[in-house]
Amino acid sequence: MRTLRMMRMLLGLAGAAALIVGPASRVDAQEQTIKIGVLYDHTGPFSAAGSLNCWRGAKMMIDYVNERGGVLGKYKIVPIDGDSQSKAEVAINEAERLLNVEKVDILAGVYSSAHAVPLAEKVDRQKKFLWITTAISSKVFDGRNLQYTFRPQPTGTQFGELSVQYIADYAQERLKKAPKDLRLAIIYEDGAYGTDVALGNELKAKDLGLNVVLKEGYSINAPDLSSLVTKLRAARPDVLYHTGYNPDISLFLRQAKEQGLRLRAYIGHGAGHSQLDKLKEAFGKDVEFFHTLDPIASQLLDPKKLRPGVGELTAEMVKRYKAQYDANAPTAAIAPHVSMGFNNLWVLFNDVLPRAIQKHGGFGPDALAAAARETDIPDGGTMQGYGVKFYPPGHRFAGQNARAFPAVFQIIEGKFELVYPKAVATAPPVLPLPASSPFAAR
């Protein structure tokens, strides 16, 4: 099972990891460049929900590689930014511009699943190489047999499954109920991202015999969610699973507090729920003890439990983030989206590109795709803890990383603590919501 494999990995790792992006060195041959289109949302609601932090991580990795001479100490990365503006049609147009006007060799990034699902098919049809660092919907790959699209990230259904497993594992110990006696509610934005995570919630709940008393989607553009809050109050859930972006999360929480929604646990899934600074800015201590799921923020992992050399990269990321973006940021509070941009481009620059150039003759789409299919990074070989091995052509999820996994975080004393799986936890979870929370069941 993936979670067990992850636990074994993080409990003890050995071996060497050679960093192909080596120290800066003199380049005797004429300098060569690799153009990469970096597509994120710099404006619109997705920017504050995590996309801007992903771009920051990606930019820092590009700078890091270039300062050391480029890929293989020779090929400088030339980044060209695109702004999706939090709109799917703009994302598609920007991708077209980057690929066919700017003539980038690689298109990378993509925060929103609502953008990634149509974008992946269009780019793949053109036989161009797409490296998705962030968007998690399973629908990006499911049954499409994409040939030039790859994603190191875990999938949305994995997020949904793990959050339900977490509550099931702690139900008796912390909530003093058998798992089957808990009442679960699932609410979600009805785009590709929310639908996928909610499906994972539902399927895992069914598999474990848990009781889902309400499952309902909503539009991220909904001006009012009070009727949804009313339904939740009537359903009386112990645990609420919520998947959304930044503005709709804020709207829901404001109206939930106004209407007196009471819960024993509140669990979000990435995006706006992982932007701790934005949550605290809007709601202060009201969000204390809320949960989120995401791939692990690299700085929360013990570097001794990772492959040699990986911890140094995490330290580099933290140093650069504080120097360039927030000097006062507590290290533990740096959002996991920064790690996604930094780590997932590191996999591309450190593993895929060198192999494409050295073994497959360059960095065209076919060479890159062949190199990506040969990627075989063991568990603990990346800054977010997971390994990388992509499902092959013909597989239902061809191009998806089979070794990726998310984790559960909780806001404890104003910062994120890693609370599940237990093997990687930095703190025990606080369950149920204590009386100090305005959302706590009375």
Give the amino acid at 300: L
Percent of the chain whose predicted confidence (pLDDT) is above 70: 93
Whether pLDDT at 58 is above 70: yes
Of 121 and 276, more confident: 121
pLDDT at position 49: 83
Structure tokens at 57: 């991580």
* Average pLDDT score over the chain: 91
Written as six digits, the tokens of 345 are 């481009």
Highest mean pLDDT: which of 119-123, 155-159, 334-338? 119-123
Report which of residues 421 and 174 the model is more confident about: 174
The residue ranges of DSSP E strands in 167-304, in sequence order, are 183-189, 211-218, 239-243, 265-268, 291-294
pLDDT of 263: 97
Which pLDDT score is estimated for 48?
A: 87
Domain locations in the chain as residue ranges:
2-154+308-373, 157-294+407-424
Task: Answer for the pair 148, 120: CB distance below 8 angstroms, yes or no.
Answer: no
Inform me whether the pLDDT recorded for 403 exceeds 50.
Answer: yes
Backbone CA torsion sign across 236, 240, 242, 247: positive
pLDDT recorded at residue 31: 62
Q: Specify the CATH number of the domain 2-154+308-373.
A: 3.40.50.2300
Token output for 360: 């497959």
| pLDDT given for residue 2 in this prediction | 47
Predicted local distance difference test score (pLDDT) of residue 12: 44
Same fold, 2-154+308-373 and 157-294+407-424: yes
Is residue 22 over pLDDT 60? no
pLDDT category of residue 15 using cuts at 50, 70 and 90: very low
pLDDT at residue 210 above 90? yes
Assess whether pLDDT exceeds 90 at residue 424: no
Cα separation, 47 vs 11, whole angstroms: 35
Binned at pLDDT 50, 70 and 90, residue 201 comes out as: very high
Chain segment 225-240, per-residue pLDDT in tens: 999 999 999 999 999 9
A 10 A CB-CB count for 61 gives: 27
| pLDDT confidence tier of residue 29, bands split at 50, 70 and 90 | very low
Q: What is the mean pLDDT of residues 21-40?
A: 66
Mean pLDDT of 242-267: 95
Q: What is the 3-state secondary structure (H, E, C) of 364-420?
A: CHHHHHHHHHCCCECCCCCCCCCCECECCCCCCCCCEECCCCCEEEEEECCEEEEEE
| Burial zone of 364 (CB within 10 Å; 0-12 exposed, 13-18 middle, 19+ buried) | middle
Contact 111, 41 (CB under 8 A): yes
- Neighbouring residues of 416: CB distance < 8 A, sequence distance ≥ 6: 276, 292, 297, 300, 332, 333, 409, 410
Strands 407-412 and 291-294: antiparallel
CA-CA-CA-CA torsion sign (169, 174, 176, 181): negative
Residue 271 pLDDT grade (very low, low, confident, very high; cuts 50, 70, 90):
confident
Sign of the alpha-carbon torsion through 361, 362, 365, 367: positive
What's the Cα-to-Cα distance from 159 to each of 153, 260, 264, rounded to whole Å? 11, 28, 20
Question: What's the mean pLDDT in 70-84?
Answer: 97
Contact assessment for residue 128 and residue 59, using Cβ atoms and an 8 Å cutoff: no
Assigned superfamily of 157-294+407-424 = Response regulator (3.40.50.2300)
CA distances from 400 to 150, 228, 244, 392 (A): 6, 34, 23, 9
pLDDT at 255 over 50: yes
Say if residue 166's pLDDT is above 70.
Answer: yes
**% of the chain surpassing 90 pLDDT:** 81
Q: How far is CA 440 from CA 116, 432, 435, in A?
A: 36, 8, 6
Whether the pLDDT of residue 149 is over 70: the answer is: yes
326-365 pLDDT per residue, tens? 999 889 889 899 999 999 999 999 999 999 999 999 999 9
